[in-house]
Amino acid sequence: MIKTDILVVGAGIAGLTFALKTANRRPDLKITVLTKTNREESNTRYAQGGVAAVWDFKTDSYKKHIEDTLDAGDGLCDEDIVEIVVKEGHERVKEIIEWGTRFDKHGADYDLGKEGGHSENRILHYKDYTGWEILRAMLEKAKTMPNIEIHDHFFAVDLISQHHLGHVVTRLNTNIECYGAYVLDLKTNHIETILAKITVVATGGAGQVYRSTTNPVIATGDGMAMVYRMKGRLENMEFVQFHPTSLFNPAGDNPAFLVSEAVRGFGAILKSKEGEEFMHLYDERKSLAPRDIVARAIDNEMKKRGDEYMCLDCSHLDKKRFLGHFPTIYDKCMSLGINPMKDLIPVVPAAHYVCGGIKTDEIGRTSVKNMYACGECTSSGLHGANRLASNSLLEAMVFAHRIFKEVVEKVDDIEIKTGIPEWNAESTSDPKEMVLITQSMKELKEIMSSYVGIVRSNVRLKRAADRLLLLYNETEKLYASTTLSPQLMELRNLITIGYLITTSAQMRHESRGLHFTTDYPEKLSFAETVLR
């Protein structure tokens, strides 16, 4: 049994920002941070475009960034939260610069990029690997803090609550408490009980529930699923963002390689493979419209034309500047025989970001006592029905900071819970046929991609729900009889995520933001939503 003051599940930008700030303010506290594989692997690492923040106050303003975020969110953002994130974002970015993060400069000033839905240039970036750079600086800083212990290959299985003390907990309970987590140490295959006064869930996204995704293989929605199992609140799961431009690769990379929206911000134009422009048919902002509009337009054009992909034309752009900004994208294209300066780059939409997640308030509190959440696993109210590009790194830092401020005050009033039993693995044995797990995973991704993708309908959603129920029943049986493995836990978690996305989509009888259904193509007015 491990005892710690604070347990942080996840070492992406959200978990690390929180851990670094808390460790710095309270050197007397023990802060335990978990990663399911290693600390270098997370969605954060792959962030390309950058961090959106109002920086040049001569041309930009908080008001403009707020308006752009609300516009992208299509009526479902929480306006107070949007204001908090936009206004506090500037300070948070300054802090990570102080921690050693480099952003590209143009002379003495930061070189501010542009992405879809932004009315001004406000994206701070480091070439096309901003996330890697942020993570590098944070991990360097973490090394200097003796009270942060990062445990790699520590896979959180379940969050501990009254349920584990034998109490019946339902979704109607308002007094659920978190005492820590059961964690599979992948090096010893032993399930550790980690008890904490406060638990912060920062487990990132769930893109792996789809066949094609920009998210790395670790993005299996573990935190969201664990919170759902402990009967905590989640919301807005129907709003899954498909990035319009992942690199089309017939070999089917997992993850799909992203061609950053910043490339369009730099002047690249979406075209068909015959070289015809089409975005003007969908939105006056053309290739730089918000993501939901561009992804749907590409999906529609592909279906209409019977093409497997659409294209990005960069051939008119300056090669030297392009290489300076997008070295990774250039190299990846060249490795596949595509010269971005001459050839059209083939692109397709891919699952990228779940806007919904664990419901949090303005401090990052969840519905569960002594448990907070920040980053991509949450639904903070910032994104509404569609996230504005490059707002998620910002959101993670702002809420990590807000949680830190509350936790350093509150932690001393909380006792570590006693009487928590060790994990019970009785009557389970090693899986005899791994194919049962790998095949179910393939089926799950097929179901979600075919029936719960960019365009939905009642029939497709019903079919998905029926198929998911079968998978759920089979997997729960397997879970009850099999020794735990990361593959089995990820399958179980992703089935939960698939179920939550599908049932949330079934409940929304309108098309809004990222949720488009042919059975209810219109957006409901506020009055209609209330009456429904």
**Does residue number 222 form part of the binding site for ligand SIN (CB under 6 A)?**
no
Q: Which residues are catalytic?
A: 291
Shortest distance in whole angstroms from residue 392 CB to ligand SIN: 6
Footprint (CB under 6 A) of ligand SIN, residues 244-263: 260-262
Q: How far apart are CA 329 and CA 36, in angstroms?
A: 27
Binding partner at 310 among ligand SIN, ligand FAD, none, C-beta below 5 to 8 Å by kind = none
Binding partner at 248 among ligand FAD, ligand SIN, none, C-beta below 5 to 8 Å by kind = none
Position among 333, 385, 389, 394 found at the interface with ligand SIN (CB under 6 A): 389
Binding partner at 9 among ligand SIN, ligand FAD, none, C-beta below 5 to 8 Å by kind = ligand FAD
Shortest distance in whole angstroms from residue 115 CB to ligand FAD: 8
Question: Is there a contact between 54 and 90 (Cβ–Cβ < 8 Å)?
Answer: yes
DSSP reduced 3-state for 410: helix
Which residues of the shown chain bind ligand FAD in the complex (CB under 6 A)? Answer: 9-15, 34-37, 42-44, 46-51, 130-131, 154-156, 202-205, 214-215, 218, 222-223, 258, 353, 375-376, 390-393, 396
Question: Is there a contact between 209 and 453 (Cβ–Cβ < 8 Å)?
Answer: no
Between strands 123-124 and 51-52, the pairing is antiparallel
Question: Is there a contact between 216 and 145 (Cβ–Cβ < 8 Å)?
Answer: no
Q: Which residues have a Cβ under 8 Å from the Cβ of 404 and sit 6 or more positions away?
A: 17, 18, 21, 22, 25
CB of 12 or CB of 244, closer to ligand FAD: 12
Shortest distance in whole angstroms from residue 295 CB to ligand SIN: 12
CB of 344 or CB of 350, closer to ligand FAD: 350
Residue 330's Cβ-side half-sphere holds a number of Cα atoms within 13 Å equal to: 17
Q: Residue 334 CA to chain centroid, in angstroms? A: 28
Shortest distance in whole angstroms from residue 245 CB to ligand SIN: 7
Binding partner at 495 among ligand FAD, ligand SIN, none, C-beta below 5 to 8 Å by kind = none
Edge-to-edge order in the sheet of strand 310-313: 240-247, 345-354, 310-313, 269-271
Residue 269's Cβ-side half-sphere holds a number of Cα atoms within 13 Å equal to: 13
In order, the DSSP letters of 63-80 are HHHHHHHHHHTTT-S-HH
**Does residue number 511 form part of the binding site for ligand SIN (CB under 6 A)?**
no
Shortest distance in whole angstroms from residue 182 CB to ligand FAD: 10
Question: Is there a contact between 260 and 279 (Cβ–Cβ < 8 Å)?
Answer: no
Closest residue to ligand SIN, judged by C-beta, is 49
Binding partner at 13 among ligand SIN, ligand FAD, none, C-beta below 5 to 8 Å by kind = ligand FAD
Shortest distance in whole angstroms from residue 51 CB to ligand SIN: 9
The amino acid at 277 = E
Q: How far apart are CA 228 and CA 212, in angstroms?
A: 25
Footprint (CB under 6 A) of ligand SIN, residues 262-291: 262
Position among 199, 246, 360, 392 found at the interface with ligand SIN (CB under 6 A): 392
**Does residue number 49 form part of the binding site for ligand SIN (CB under 6 A)?**
yes
Residue 146's Cβ-side half-sphere holds a number of Cα atoms within 13 Å equal to: 2
Q: Looking at residue 252, what DSSP letter applies?
A: -
**Does residue number 390 form part of the binding site for ligand SIN (CB under 6 A)?**
yes
Asked if the bond preceding 340 is cis, omega within 30° of 0, the reply is no
**Does residue number 293 form part of the binding site for ligand SIN (CB under 6 A)?**
no
Question: Is there a contact between 112 and 56 (Cβ–Cβ < 8 Å)?
Answer: yes
**Which residues contact ligand SIN (rule: CB under 6 A)?**
48-49, 260-262, 389-390, 392
